């Protein structure tokens, strides 16, 4: 699990609540390159949310072998890091 990645804080989205299975978009803040990540929420641990990276897209064009994060990796983030959400089909 990657708990070393920081994410950009985003404005509150209509006081939404997110559940297991929802897909959210995050933007990294502390890696060599900035990435947009689509992450599926796996579980909550207090105020922290654990999710699995579905897709990663670097802001600049770099070879995939140089990417610092990959689909399938688990990341830890907070609700205020969520830029956009796609609720799961229930």
**pLDDT mean over 32-51:** 96
**pLDDT mean over 60-84:** 94
Domain residue spans in the chain? Answer: 23-86
Strands 48-58 and 35-45: antiparallel
- Give me the pLDDT at residue 15, please: 64
Give me the percent of the chain exceeding a pLDDT of 90: 78
- Give me the pLDDT at residue 14, please: 63
61/83: higher pLDDT: 61
Q: Check whether 54 has a pLDDT greater than 70.
A: yes
- Give me the pLDDT at residue 88, please: 66
**pLDDT mean over 28-48:** 96
Burial-class residue 1 by CB neighbours within 10 Å (0-12, 13-18, 19+). Answer: exposed
What is the spatial distance between Cα 13 and Cα 46, in angstroms, rounded to a whole number?
20
- Give me the pLDDT at residue 38, please: 96
């Amino acid at each position: 699990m990657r708990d070393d990645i920081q994410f950009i804080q985003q404005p509150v989205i209509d006081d939404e609540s997110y559940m297991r299975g929802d897909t959210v978009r995050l933007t990294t803040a502390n890696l060599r390159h900035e990435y947009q990540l689509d992450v599926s929420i796996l579980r909550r641990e207090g105020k922290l949310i654990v999710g699995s990276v579905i897709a990663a897209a670097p802001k600049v064009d770099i070879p995939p072998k140089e990417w610092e994060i990959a689909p399938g990796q688990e990341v830890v983030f907070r609700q205020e890091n969520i830029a956009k959400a796609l609720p799961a089909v229930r």
